[in-house]
């Protein structure tokens, strides 16, 4: 009798999980190039994962300056304009914002632009310069795709699953991709430290391709 109940429960649970997964896939859109993020202010990371701004007025978003966004200003407020009225929000109460499909995340007292989006984000810290990159791929082992800025604190990694932000280094990356055994082993097979550091972008890019993220469908 107990065994029959256990089997019935297992079948019910399997059916429930299957239908939940099916519903989730049908109700979601896979992130890929060309995906449109909704403009506005995202007070929480959960709002961002839903692509649903907490404040979505079709107004110019700015950091205490008129007409345009200015980056790198260390100030306690983020302001936005709606119907001619300027409203201020404490920066530490806002996860980030989107302007013209560019995502900016708050940490270290300012907003920092997301450079790569996916299961792992790469974030440029405001005011520390950019990147220079060439071509290459993991499949051909040809060159590093991205060379980080000489300042090791100029880039950060954001894990989409948790929303946590980490330093941009191979120890962190190794931990973030450990669920993908093939990539994990390939990363840790690189013995030279400089070569390993230069390959971070390639591994992030490849991990994102192999582990897509999804946003709710707006249709």
Residue 41 is predicted with a pLDDT of: 87
| Segment 108-167, tens digit of pLDDT | 888 899 999 999 999 998 765 544 343 344 444 433 334 444 455 789 999 999 999 999
Residue 69 is predicted with a pLDDT of: 38
Please give the Cα distance from 90 to 197 (Å, whole number).
36
Long-range contacts of 4-11 (CB under 8 A, 24+ apart): none
CB 52 within 8 A of CB 40: no
Residue 104 is predicted with a pLDDT of: 92
User: Which two three-digit tokens encode residue 157?
Assistant: 């990694």
Q: What are residue 125's phi and psi, to 5 degrees?
A: -75, 130
Residue 62 bridge partners (DSSP): 79
Residue 56 is predicted with a pLDDT of: 73
* Sites in the chain below the pLDDT cut of 70: 1-26, 57-75, 80-86, 127-152, 218-219
């Amino acid at each position: 009798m107990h065994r029959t109940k256990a089997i019935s429960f297992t079948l019910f649970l399997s059916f429930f999980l299957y239908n939940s997964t099916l519903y989730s896939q049908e109700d979601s859109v896979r992130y890929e190039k060309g995906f449109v993020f909704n403009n506005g202010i995202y007070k929480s990371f959960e709002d961002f994962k839903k692509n649903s701004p907490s404040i979505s007025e079709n107004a110019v978003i700015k950091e205490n300056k008129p007409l345009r966004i200015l980056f790198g200003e260390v100030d306690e407020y983020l302001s936005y304009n709606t119907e001619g009225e300027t409203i201020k929000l404490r920066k530490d109460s806002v996860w980030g914002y989107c302007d013209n499909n560019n995502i900016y995340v708050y940490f270290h007292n300012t907003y920092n632009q997301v450079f790569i989006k996916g299961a792992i984000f790469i974030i440029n810290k405001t005011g520390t310069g950019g990147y220079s990159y060439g071509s290459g791929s993991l499949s051909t082992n040809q060159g590093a795709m991205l060379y980080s800025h000489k300042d090791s604190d100029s880039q950060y990694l954001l894990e989409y699953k948790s929303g946590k932000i980490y330093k941009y280094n191979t120890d962190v990356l190794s931990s973030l991709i450990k669920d993908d055994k093939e990539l994990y082993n390939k990363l840790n097979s690189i013995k030279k430290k400089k070569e390993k550091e230069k390959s971070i972008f390639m591994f992030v890019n490849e991990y994102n391709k192999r582990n897509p993220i999804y946003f709710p469908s707006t249709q």
